[in-house]
Structure 1
Amino acid sequence: MRTLLGILFGVFAAMTIIEVVNRAAFALYPSLVALDSADAGTLAKIVISMPISVRFFMMLGLLLGAFGGAWLGLRVCDRRLVLWIVVAAVIAVGLAGVLTLPHPVWMKVCVVVLPVLGGALAARVHRKPYPGEALLG
């Protein structure tokens, strides 16, 4: 049961962190929000015209999301399997974004590499809780 909770909390935390960082990136470039994103052609033009700073923020969100979600998942159940399931979920969401819209090749590579790096960093930073210690204390 703790494994399932670790996966759920980890994936939820990762997606929340990614969304917060993406919103911060779009705050830097407000014209992305103002345009109609229902039309695929318009959305492709928006993505192509995004400045490099917004793209870096989006990749930073994947790194931080994978790190935060994997760490929380490990903290809840202390099983490495949870870490890699959270990382796989972040990679799947990232790939869904970069494969449906035109993005540069470096972003496609970063969508796979950065979540793995974030998960590895979370595994490195995580320490096993002592018996009786609060999960998030």
Structure 2
Amino acid sequence: MVLVAAIESLSATLYPVSGDIAAADRATLLAMIHGIPLPAKLIIVAGWLIAPFAGVWLCLRIGDWPIGGWLVTAIFLVAAIVGQVNVPHPLWMVLCAVILPLLGGWLAQRVHRKPYPGEPLLG
């Protein structure tokens, strides 16, 4: 979740939004989000893939328990869906919020390998 926040913060830094998002009503918020440039939206969407990938990979690297990896994926998926419910997004971003955490978790499961005996976990 920290990685998602960092990536979204990077997007907000590179492409600042005019107006106060926290004080905006739903219609104003929707207009602000639709006014965000496409590269900023792509950075946010990339975070929805990168963060679950990193979280699942780390979970598997430490615990080597595939169900734990899917639990991490589920946490990211629920957070993404809650974010879509609370903050209106374009339809393509809503679809990405569902698909990309699942894809990130699946990719991490595919690239994970069990560490060799004596190999550092993160080395």
- TM-score (norm. length: structure 2): 0.88
**Which of 39, 55, 58 matches 1:69?**
55
Paired residues of 2:60 and 2:112 also in contact (CA < 8 A): yes
Hey, what's the Cα distance between the residues in 2 that align with 1:19 and 1:86? 16
**Which of 39, 43, 46 matches 2:24?**
39
Hey, what's the Cα distance between the residues in 2 that align with 1:92 and 1:86? 10
Identity %: 39
Hey, what's the Cα distance between the residues in 1 that align with 2:21 and 2:69? 36
Q: How big is the alpha-carbon RMSD for the aligned residues of Structure 1 and Structure 2? A: 1.6
Hey, what's the Cα distance between the residues in 2 that align with 1:100 and 1:45? 15
Hey, what's the Cα distance between the residues in 2 that align with 1:94 and 1:36? 18
The yes-or-no answer on 1:56 pairing with 2:24 is: no
Unaligned runs of 5+ in 1: 1-14
Secondary structure (helix, strand or coil) at the match of 2:118 reads coil
TM-fit CA distance, 1:80: 0.6
Q: Show CA shifts across 1:72-99 (max 9, x none).
A: 0001100111111111111111111112
The yes-or-no answer on 1:133 pairing with 2:116 is: no
Hey, what's the Cα distance between the residues in 1 that align with 2:8 and 2:21? 18
Hey, what's the Cα distance between the residues in 2 that align with 1:100 and 1:48? 15
Secondary structure (helix, strand or coil) at the match of 1:128 reads coil
Give the number of the structure whose residues are more often helix, by fraction: 1
Unaligned runs of 5+ in 2: none
* 2:108 equivalent in structure 1: 122
Q: Show CA shifts across 1:23-63 (max 9, x none).
A: 1111122235x624133334333222212111111110010
- Segments ≥4 residues shifted beyond 3 Å: none
* 2:86 equivalent in structure 1: 100
Aligned residues: 122
* 1:84 equivalent in structure 2: 70
- TM-score (norm. length: structure 1): 0.80
